[in-house]
Amino acid sequence: MPVSTVSIAVGQWFTTGDAVRWWFDSGSFALDFAYTGPIGGLRADELLHAPDDLTQWLHERFPVAVGAARSRDLFDAIALRDAISRMALAASRDEALRAADIDLVNLYAATPDIPPSLAGGMMQAGRSVQTVPQALSTIARDAVDLFSPANAERIRCCSSDDCDVVYLDTSRAASRRWCSMQRCGNRAKVRAHRARKAVRVAA
């Protein structure tokens, strides 16, 4: 039973080498955050160069107002994000997670997060603008959920030979194979179709 937290949409657009824009549903908000850095070959470099980059990402992804990030926040965010990235890669390879990374996620998760709230009331409960540390706590708490034993078999790498994208399979049957049907799934279908055709022609 996951305890209620602020509700955040998962998934983001990517434009990769072939200049095709495609939607990547990582299955997890914490994983979405991991993809602000170089993980899984989707982004060759760092997205969070300056505190303003972090401010913008949080602004785009959180449904509530979050204050401006400072240098210290950026430092914390990247430390948390890189721990989540290492853990996701390890989990996708069925390797043990590093205790130091687990400690880091737990540390951020132990601080106050962005509280959930119901619409329709008459008063503002708590602050009207949330802080960056609260946002990082929300991300860390989502990572606690992501790396819970229930998801152990569901953190996987895309089945395509030339793709290293890691995702959380949230499908009911745990049958997701691709980072995206549009990207790797269709390519695999085309290849399988060509292979079948080649066999028929040879026969």
Using CB under 5 A as the binding criterion, the count of chain residues that bind Zn ion stands at 6
Question: Alpha-carbon torsion 155, 158, 163, 165, what sign?
Answer: negative
For residue 69, the SS3 value is coil
Residue with tokens 């951020």: 108
User: 77 with 69: CB under 8 angstroms?
Assistant: yes
Q: Determine if 31 is a binding residue for Zn ion (CB under 5 A).
A: no
Q: Which stretch binds Zn ion (CB under 5 A): 84-92, 93-101, 150-158, 194-202?
A: 150-158
Q: b or e along 46-59 (b: 16 or more beta carbons within 10 Å of the residue's beta carbon)?
A: eebeebebbbebbe
Q: Determine if 184 is a binding residue for Zn ion (CB under 5 A).
A: yes
Q: Determine if 188 is a binding residue for Zn ion (CB under 5 A).
A: no
Closer CB to Zn ion, 65 or 192, in the complex: 192
Cα Rg of the chain (Å, integer):
19
Q: Which stretch binds Zn ion (CB under 5 A): 22-30, 62-70, 142-150, 178-186?
A: 178-186
Q: Determine if 48 is a binding residue for Zn ion (CB under 5 A).
A: no
Kindly tell me which residue out of 163, 166, 168, 188 binds Zn ion, with binding defined by CB under 5 A. Answer: 163
Structure-token pair, residue 95? 């390797």
Closer CB to Zn ion, 15 or 148, in the complex: 15
Which residues bind to Zn ion, rule: CB under 5 A?
Answer: 158, 160, 163, 165, 179, 184
